[in-house]
Amino acid sequence: MSTTHRLALIPGDGIGQEVIPPATAVLDAVGRRHGITFTYDTLDWSCERYAHEGAMMPADGLDRIAGHDAILLGAVGWPGVPDHVSLWGLLIPIRRRFAQYVNLRPIAVFDGVRSPLADASGVDFVVVRENSEGEYSEVGGRVGTDLALQEAVFTRTGVSRIADYAFALAEQRRKHVVSATKSNGIIHSMPFWDEIVAERAARHPDVAWRSEHIDALAAKLVLDPRSIDVIVASNLFGDILSDLAAAVAGSIGIAPSGNLNPEREFPSMFEPVHGSAPDIAGKDLANPLGAIWSAAMLLEHLGHAEAAEEVTAAMRAQLAEGSRTKDLGGDVGTTEFTAQFLARL
Ligand code: NAI
Ligand code: MG
């Protein structure tokens, strides 16, 4: 039995361009063993394109990739182009148009990776971040020179579906959800969030859950991360918590993410958590594992759980006993690391 998947590749800027080729090489290698063929359409959407053409992507860009099976993105952002241009000119339109309302960020501390925490072994949890509304809204404005207003947008539909996703995910894991809130300080949207999460929790009686204020939860991520299984959070809270969590796990270079359209009406997008890293771009120093792990999430999303597991198992083994890139204290470059990883796979 053979399957073909058509993927849109957006390497983007900086090390984005260095980590996507290793990720597609991994997809091809594992695909060969499982009868999966990938075809790639590589797009030049980036800050580099913005510098030449005044837009991150063509006007009909989203139409061009709406029929693809998934999107694999490296990173976008470059000095000289304001970060809100790369975000609102590319990433946010993709996430919103394709209803990728779940941002999934698994966190694991691998054997052989040094966490800044004294003891982080066994940390294994997932941040489920709301990805389509919340604090990242266009509603608001400036009034004169001395006033800015920014409204958060929370809808019953938006909160319900992200909570449902988190509880369903917890059912397949250790059956525990923590909901990030701040209902003591943010008195309209956060109590609304809390009420709806509680309603949805009632539909999953086998999952234990609790609400925790975002500040206390941030401290818990550092002090007791092993106690956490699934975190569900709004767009802003989830963004901050997942970067903190990636740091706790030892390296931003490894952390993956998926922007999911769970209904599969549109393509989902997979990307490493890290950015374009201008400080190391072009030096063969980038750790490709964040992109490779993201490719494994893509495999799982497309129904190839076994192939995905082979990739994560190879990651675990590589980190425990193989060479590593400089960010993890090793001395091999991206190219050599990728060759060794492919040989292991
Ligand atoms: P960054 O993640 O690019 O870099 C932070 C630090 O981590 C740097 O010292 C970098 O060298 C290191 N690092 C990151 N990824 C690495 C990897 N794979 N291997 C080894 N070291 C790695 O974050 P920064 O510097 O805040 O942002 C740089 C640009 O990237 C900005 O323009 C930002 O807007 C953009 N960005 C884009 C994202 C995306 O496309 N989703 C996400 C985060 C940032
Ligand atoms: Mg972030």
Query: For residue range 44-70, what is the model confidence (pLDDT) as tens digits?
Result: 999 999 999 999 999 999 999 999 999
Whether 124 and 228 map to the same domain: the answer is: yes
122 lies in some domain = yes
Whether 285 and 188 map to the same domain: the answer is: no
Residue 275 C-alpha to ligand 1 middle, in angstroms?
Answer: 3
Whether 121 and 244 map to the same domain: the answer is: yes
Whether 244 and 157 map to the same domain: the answer is: yes
| Of 22, 17, 58, 90, the residue nearest 288 (C-alpha) | 22
Whether 219 and 270 map to the same domain: the answer is: no
Q: How big is the CA angle at 230 (ends 316 and 91), to the nearest 5 degrees? A: 80
70 lies in some domain = yes
Active site residue 243: yes
Structure tokens at 280: 């190391």
pLDDT at position 1: 58
The overall pTM is greater than 0.80? yes
Q: How confident is the model at residue 249 (pLDDT cuts 50, 70, 90)?
A: confident
**Ligand 1 atom closest to Cα of 272?**
41
Q: How far apart are CA 335 and CA 55, in angstroms?
A: 31
Q: Alpha-carbon dihedral of residues 86, 88, 91, 94, nearest 10 degrees?
A: -140
Nearest CA to ligand 1 atom 27: 275
> Which residue, chain included where needed, has tokens 């075809």?
39
Q: Looking at residue 193, what DSSP letter applies?
A: H
Percent of the chain surpassing pLDDT 70: 100
Show the domain range for 189: 115-249
Q: How far apart are CA 85 and CA 81, in angstroms?
A: 7
Whether 154 and 91 map to the same domain: the answer is: no
Domain termination site, one of 249, 273, 288: 249
Domain termination site, one of 232, 249, 266: 249
Whether 219 and 311 map to the same domain: the answer is: no
pLDDT at position 122: 87
106 lies in some domain = no
Q: How confident is the model at residue 296 (pLDDT cuts 50, 70, 90)?
A: very high
Q: Looking at residue 88, what DSSP letter applies?
A: I
pLDDT at position 85: 92
* Sign of the alpha-carbon torsion through 100, 249, 107, 24: positive
Active site residue 182: yes
Whether 39 and 141 map to the same domain: the answer is: no
Residue 183 C-alpha to ligand 2 middle, in angstroms?
Answer: 23
Burial class for 96, CB neighbours closer than 10 Å (0-12, 13-18, 19+) = middle
| ipTM of the complex, rounded to two decimals | 0.97
Residue 41 C-alpha to ligand 2 middle, in angstroms?
Answer: 26
Extended strands (E) in the chain: 3-12, 36-42, 70-75, 102-108, 124-130, 140-143, 147-150, 176-181, 208-213, 230-233, 256-260, 268-272
Whether 318 and 225 map to the same domain: the answer is: no
Average pLDDT over residues 165-170: 98
Active site residue 119: no
Q: Looking at residue 331, what DSSP letter applies?
A: -
Q: Which residues line ligand 1 (CB under 6 A)?
A: 15, 75-78, 83, 86, 91, 252-253, 271, 274-280, 286-287, 290, 327
Stretch among 79-88, 210-219, 254-263 having the lowest mean pLDDT: 79-88
107 lies in some domain = no
Whether 235 and 313 map to the same domain: the answer is: no
Whether 227 and 135 map to the same domain: the answer is: yes
What CATH number has the domain bearing residue 186?
A: 3.40.718.10
Whether 120 and 245 map to the same domain: the answer is: yes
299 lies in some domain = yes
The packing angle between helices 305-321 and 334-344, to 10°, is 120
> Which residue, chain included where needed, has tokens 């509603």?
139
**Taking the CB of residue 144, how many other CB atoms lie within 10 A of it?**
6
Identity (one letter) of the amino acid at 163? Answer: A
Q: In total, how many domains does the chain have? A: 2
54 lies in some domain = yes
Q: How big is the CA angle at 40 (ends 294 and 21), to the nearest 5 degrees? A: 55
> Mind listing the pLDDT tens digit for each residue in 117-146?
888 888 999 999 999 999 998 899 999 999
Helix (H) or strand (E) holding 160: helix 156-171
Domain termination site, one of 220, 249, 278: 249
Q: How far apart are CA 205 and CA 224, in angstroms?
A: 25
185 lies in some domain = yes
> Which residue among 136, 164, 229, 327 is the active-site one?
136
Q: How far apart are CA 20 and CA 298, in angstroms?
A: 13
110 lies in some domain = no
